[in-house]
Amino acid sequence: MTSNSYFPAGWQRAVLPTLLLTQLENGPAHGYAIAKALAAGGFDPPKGAALYPALAKLEASGAVSTTWEEGQGGPGRKVYELTPAGREQLARQLRLFADFAKLVVGEN
């Protein structure tokens, strides 16, 4: 499968947890809404086989919490929300990513 994204697929896979936390910083969302928001931002929408395990790992680590939203005329869905620990994790990851980017471009 080819990517229509500006960013290489490998990069997107590597930063998926950070991308998910960044999306959840905007407020609670279900998986499909997160995938759509990433696509709207220029990323390839993550497939469910990557998205939901990554969200489950974030939940297991305490970075996100979940609630169940009853469906209106359809199935219910899990809603993910950033926790205080998730906000700290996101801030730490963004700092590390900025440091990494400086090394890649040769800035000290």
Task: State pLDDT tens for residues 52-83.
Answer: 999 999 999 999 999 998 878 778 899 999 99
pLDDT digits (tens, 9 = 90+) for 14-65: 999 999 999 999 999 999 999 999 999 888 888 889 999 999 999 999 999 9
CA distance 14 to 11: 5
Q: According to the model, what pLDDT value does residue 1 have? A: 40
pTM: 0.88
Backbone dihedral angles phi then psi of residue 52, each to the nearest 5 degrees: -70, -35
Q: How far is CA 30 from the centre of its chain?
A: 11
